Structure 1
Amino acid sequence: MTSQTLTPARARLNASYRNLTLWTLQGWIAMFFIAAGYAKLTEPLDNLIDLMRWPALAPENFVRGLGVAEIVLALLMLAPVVSWKHGRPLLVVAASGLLLLQTAMLAIHATGLDVGPAITNAVLIAMTAPVLWLRSREAR
């Protein structure tokens, strides 16, 4: 087995590709959760119950509060755009919070046999986990 040493130029190129991929994922995650949070804040509860089953089991204030939390966490995913030094730790916290939220919602959707939302949450977890892992490694 041989080890291959990357040239400095190749290492920078790989880092650029990784950074571009992570920013793309962060943007998609942020867009999804801003839209989902906005819907939870603005749609009548009856519409939300028709779209998803779980709002029927939760108080309206909880559903609205979850919408606020999703929007705030989504915006924090983009915090490094403003300041890389101060935004990167906020990004790691936001990714952790969204991953926790997505895991809980996956469990709720899976136990309620909501296949579509469960698959959506699984895809979101698959997008958020690498962002959290790789960005937290950069923060050290």
Structure 2
Amino acid sequence: MTSQALTPARSRLAASYRNLTLWTLQGWLAMFFIAAGYAKLSEPMANLIDLMKWPALVSDNLVRGLGVAEILLAALILAPLVSWKHGRPLLVTAAAGLLALEMIMLAIHAVGLEGGLALTNVVLIAMTAPVLWCRARETR
């Protein structure tokens, strides 16, 4: 079995596909967390409690604050659209924050026996982890 080195053209093509994939994941994450944050900010607490168990266990301000944090992190995950030099560190920080938030919420939903919400967090973790891993390793 022999290994072949990628030609420069193939290497650039692979990097383009990887970049396109990461931007797609970043866009999906931003859309999800902007929507989730907006719901936490705008929905009455009774509706949120019907949808999820945990808002009944914490203060309204914590739920609303979490909504603000989700919207902020979602916006920061798109920061490189404005400036790659300054936006990439913000993107990596936001991805790390979202990953931590997703893992905490996975544990909360799993303990609360909310299978659908726990599965949603598993999918979000599977989307955020490659973004964090690949963007943190990039050099430009």
Q: TM-score normalized by structure 1? A: 0.98
Unaligned segments of structure 1, at least 5 residues: none
Report the aligned-residue RMSD. 0.9
Cα distance per residue 1:46-83 (max 9 Å; x no partner): 00000111000010000000000000000000000000
**Counterpart Cα distance in 1 of 2:137 and 2:58:** 37
Give the aligned partner of residue 9 of structure 1.
9
Q: Aligned runs of 1:10-25 on 2, under 5 Å?
A: 10-25=10-25
Secondary structure of the structure 2 residue equivalent to 1:113: coil
SS of corresponding position for 2:138: helix
What does residue 55 of structure 2 align with?
55
Q: Which amino acid aligns with 2:98?
A: L
- Paired residue type of 2:136: S
Residue 2 of structure 1: CA displacement? Answer: 2.0
Provide the TM-score with structure 2 as the length reference: 0.98
The runs of at least 4 consecutive aligned structure 1 residues that moved more than 6 Å come to none
SS at match of 1:6: coil
Q: CA–CA distance in 2 between the matches of 1:54 and 1:4?
A: 53
Q: Offset at 1:3?
A: 2.0
Identity of aligned residues (%): 78
Between the aligned partners of 1:78 and 1:47, the Cα distance in structure 2 is 29
8 Å CA contact 1:88–1:139 kept in 2: the answer is no
Aligned partner of 1:79 in structure 2 is: 79
Instruction: State how far apart, in whole Å, the 2-side matches of 1:87 and 1:107 are.
Output: 30
Q: How does 1:82-93 map to 2 (within 5 A)?
A: 82-93=82-93
1:120 aligned residue: 120
Per-residue deviation, 1:139: 4.5
